Amino acid sequence: MTSVSPHKKARALKSTSRRPAKELCSECGLCDTYYIHYVKEACAFINQQIGELEEETHTRSRHLENPDELYFGVHQDMIAARKQQPIEGAQWTGIVSSIAIEMLNRGIVEGVVCVQNTKEDRFQPMPVIARTPEEILAARVNKPTLSPNLSVLEQIEKSGMKRLLVIGVGCQIQALRAVEKQLGLEKLYVLGTPCVDNVNRAGLQKFLETTSRSPDTVVHYEFMQDFRVHFKHEDGSSETVPFFGLKTNQLKDVFAPSCMSCFDYVNSLADLVVGYMGAPFGWQWIVVRNDTGKEMLDLVKDQLVTQPVTSKGNRKEAVQQSIPAYDKGVTLPMWAAKLMGVVIEKIGPKGLEYARFSIDSHFTRNYLYVKRNHPEKLEAHVPEFAKRIVGQYKLPE
Ligand code: FAD
Ligand code: SF4
């Protein structure tokens, strides 16, 4: 007699039902499946367990005494890279899509979990299991909104797939790792991106309307290493807005509460992470966490130009000054913001130091958010590495 897995008796929540993590839910998609059975252990916002899952995934948790691991997690290599021939319409040069296509074409995996958009709305996420390169390409570029990538997990078990690649952000990957053993796979590959300051669809609209000159024509945007937000519009034109000119007072409530409480910016549990923030402007930043990640990167190495990562400047003072400024919602007049942008671009942190600047700024903000809004969660929810990072700064009450 075959026994039925306990989760198969569980029922996905209706889309309108309140999620177990309540307002902290990042809509990762787990609760849209019968894997909701494991939510109390698996949810990144109910049971933070990065250290334990690092050990299971990478055979050890990060060395807290190693300054690079403290910030960027367990890794065996970090490089800067870009595609010799970038994929048109990708977020950066398309390294993520290229790895996924290569894995499918070579038969290493049978499917790829990634996120396309709906026909009606380019920013409305639509998670899929891609089985062709065309379907992977249709998922290129960020959907800068909370995306229920794990909502397709039931389909995986039903399809009988045994080798799978999942592309996702930290909260999705934490829940995925927690249920990995229940998926019935022979091999799971995880390709992660860093993620921060995500929003729901309404929040995205508010961000675009308060920040861009033409919110309806934005096809792509990114907070870049030159301390500016770069927007690309439908007609191919671009627009930049200095970080220091953002209307912080109006934008304070835009970011999702989940993202205001997240300390997994660098996607600690992926095998391979592809972002940009530790690399020079125009380049992507790659963190190889384990042998599986190396195997994935090796598949596209001949399509890349690479260079070693570097680090320049000192972020500490800029971070310390930004803490009370953000807290009070200070917005500079545009001329001053532009000037400050030019100065900080010339003398400010670069490469890995820019990545540390961004991590420090977000972790201090998020620590204050959790302390003020969910004090009972502070101790268990903030991982030890984040406590050490935040501990370098003086925080307001
Ligand atoms: P592409 O080849 O264009 O592929 C992008 C992939 O992202 C697609 O496969 C798609 O499935 C997946 N994707 C798109 N939207 C989502 C989503 N909402 N949730 C999960 N997966 C998604 N990097 C940094 O260094 N610092 C940051 O602060 C940072 N913030 C980010 C915030 C968000 C919301 C996202 C999705 C990514 C962020 N990144 C960040 C990663 C970076 O913007 C690029 O996605 C990454 O460098 C890959 O670029 P690419 O050209 O190789 O990707
Ligand atoms: Fe469920 Fe994911 Fe929301 Fe947690 S974050 S409550 S696992 S959907």
Gap between the Cα atoms of 221 and 202, Å rounded: 16
Residue 112 placed within a domain: yes
Q: Are 287 and 71 in contact (CB under 8 A)?
A: no
CA–CA distances in Å: residue 180 to residues 10, 29, 153, 323: 17, 14, 10, 38
Q: Does 346 score more than 70 pLDDT?
A: yes
Gap between the Cα atoms of 323 and 360, Å rounded: 10
Task: Give pLDDT, residue 2.
Answer: 56
Total tally of structural domains belonging to the chain = 1
Q: Are 312 and 383 in contact (CB under 8 A)?
A: no
Angle, in degrees to the nearest 10, between helices 352-373 and 316-327 = 30
pLDDT tens-place string over residues 138-153 = 999 999 999 999 999 9
Q: Are 114 and 100 in contact (CB under 8 A)?
A: yes
Amino acid at the residue 159? S
Mean pLDDT of 43-72: 98
3-state secondary structure of 206: helix
Nearest alpha carbon to residue 286 among 276, 296, 301, 271: 276
Mean pLDDT of 53-63: 98
Residue 61 placed within a domain: yes
Residue 5 placed within a domain: no
Residue 199 placed within a domain: yes
Tokens encoding 82: 């870009």
Task: Give pLDDT, residue 214.
Answer: 95
Residue 69 placed within a domain: yes
3-state secondary structure of 81: strand
Q: Does 92 score more than 80 pLDDT?
A: yes
Q: Does 350 score more than 80 pLDDT?
A: yes
Residue 231 placed within a domain: yes
Query: What ipTM score was computed for the predicted complex, to two decimals?
Result: 0.98
Ligand 2 mutation target, pool 15, 17, 24, 25, most atoms within 8 A of CB? 25
Residue 154 lies in domain: 10-397
Closest-approaching ligand to the CA atom of 36: 2
Backbone angles phi, psi at 296, to 5 degrees: -70, -45
Gap between the Cα atoms of 228 and 182, Å rounded: 43
DSSP character at residue 36: G
Ligand 2 mutation target, pool 11, 15, 17, 28, most atoms within 8 A of CB? 28
Name the burial class of residue 216, with classes exposed (0-12), middle (13-18) and buried (19+) by CB atoms within 10 angstroms of its CB: exposed
3-state secondary structure of 223: strand
CA 25 to chain CA mean position, Å = 15
DSSP character at residue 19: P
Residue 289 placed within a domain: yes
Q: Does 343 score more than 80 pLDDT?
A: no
Q: Is residue 36 very low, low, confident or very high in pLDDT (cuts 50, 70, 90)?
A: very high
Amino acid at the residue 247? K
Provide the mean pLDDT of the chain. 93
Q: Is residue 99 very low, low, confident or very high in pLDDT (cuts 50, 70, 90)?
A: very high
What is the Å distance from ligand 1's center to 363 Cα? 20
Q: Whose CA is nearest to atom 2 of ligand 1?
A: 94
Q: Indicate whether residue 50 lines ligand 2 (CB < 6 A).
A: no
Task: Give pLDDT, residue 344.
Answer: 74
Q: Does 223 score more than 70 pLDDT?
A: yes
DSSP character at residue 235: T
Gap between the Cα atoms of 286 and 277, Å rounded: 10
DSSP character at residue 112: E
Q: Whose CA is nearest to atom 7 of ligand 2?
A: 43
Nearest alpha carbon to residue 45 among 19, 18, 24: 24
Task: Give pLDDT, residue 327.
Answer: 80
CA–CA distances in Å: residue 71 to residues 108, 280, 304: 31, 18, 25
Q: Is residue 8 very low, low, confident or very high in pLDDT (cuts 50, 70, 90)?
A: confident
Task: Give pLDDT, residue 233.
Answer: 95
Gap between the Cα atoms of 164 and 394, Å rounded: 44
Task: Give pLDDT, residue 337.
Answer: 67
Residue 3 placed within a domain: no
Q: Does 175 score more than 70 pLDDT?
A: yes
pLDDT tens-place string over residues 114-124 = 999 999 999 99
Task: Give pLDDT, residue 313.
Answer: 92
Nearest alpha carbon to residue 208 among 90, 322, 122: 122
Q: Is residue 397 very low, low, confident or very high in pLDDT (cuts 50, 70, 90)?
A: confident
